[in-house]
Amino acid sequence: MLSGTIGKLRAEVKAPLQYFFPIGDQELALRGDGEQRLRLTTQGQIRCQACQRLTRKSYNQGYCYPCFTRLAACDMCILKPELCHHAAGSCREPAWGEAHCMVPHIVYLANSSGLKVGITRATQVPTRWIDQGASAALPLFRVGSRYHSGLIEVALARHVADKTQWQALLRGDPAELDLVAEAERLLALCAQELAEIEQRFPRDRQRLLPEVHRFQYPVLRYPDKIKALTLAPDQAIEGCLLGIKGQYLILEEGVLNVRKHTSYVVTLEQL
């Protein structure tokens, strides 16, 4: 039995991926083969991942309200990097921005619930792709900042999705896509916009080799009907683990988005 706050699922790159469920300072290895039965319970407490205070409501996946309104990690530009205002001197936490936003980022295509474009810090490859449940990913560019990558993402997102549809993700494996061919198509469509962005950031964009990364998830079977599970006081979530994909646990009675419940104080039992 493990007790403590939930962290996002950790995965090791194998075939299939090996997942671990962090609870407090421990973690449980997950199998997704239908032979592992779990029970999760909570008293409704959430411990802010920044200041550690207890809060009854989670903001931005694991923060209390004061931290949500104060921290740069919770600013709108994290969701929309093209709105980055670090250069204007108005970042909530300039030092945090230097460490997390003014660092190399990767612009990529992925096949998760279908074709999508995304960005991530270079240090988060391939974690970001796995967290999104991508079956395949293709890095396109390496640039020097989150803002720069966000501008490229916006240009490409005029022609392709920039979000994963979670219900489609959990209905099964996506249709196979030729990501290299899709990349060439998109880059041709956006050639003018990309050239204009490059003029603003001379010599700051590196085209990456067309190497496709592929991932196999430990899923015995996908649900016939997708039902989202929510942790609530005095209401246990229990069932055989039928699979793990992205940050979702696929259980007999529904699917649990672990990332959504980051910082919930829980007890996890393996029955």
Tokens read off for 33: 């083969």
- pLDDT (tens digit per residue) in 151-193: 999 999 999 999 999 999 999 999 999 999 999 999 999 999 9
User: CA of 245: how far to CAs of 74, 190, 225, 251, in Å?
Assistant: 25, 32, 16, 12
Q: What's the farthest any 2 CA atoms get from each other in the chain?
A: 59
**pLDDT of 235:** 85
**Mean pLDDT within 222-238:** 92
The answer to whether residues 105 and 143 touch, using CB atoms and an 8 Å cutoff, is yes
Using CA atoms, how far apart are residues 194 and 183, in angstroms rounded to an integer? Answer: 13
Using CA atoms, how far apart are residues 54 and 92, in angstroms rounded to an integer? Answer: 23
Question: How many Cβ atoms from other residues are within 10 Å of residue 35's Cβ?
Answer: 9
**pLDDT of 15:** 92
Question: How many Cβ atoms from other residues are within 10 Å of residue 37's Cβ?
Answer: 14
DSSP secondary structure, 157-194, as one string? TTTSB-S--HHHHTTSPPPP--HHHHHHHHHHHTHHHH
Question: How many Cβ atoms from other residues are within 10 Å of residue 82's Cβ?
Answer: 16
Using CA atoms, how far apart are residues 73 and 100, in angstroms rounded to an integer? Answer: 9
The answer to whether residues 119 and 79 touch, using CB atoms and an 8 Å cutoff, is no
The answer to whether residues 89 and 98 touch, using CB atoms and an 8 Å cutoff, is no
**pLDDT of 70:** 96
Ordered by start, the domain boundaries in the chain are 2-56+218-270, 104-213
- pLDDT (tens digit per residue) in 80-105: 999 999 988 999 999 999 999 999 99
Tokens read off for 4: 């403590």
pLDDT-based confidence at residue 22 (cuts at 50, 70, 90)? very high
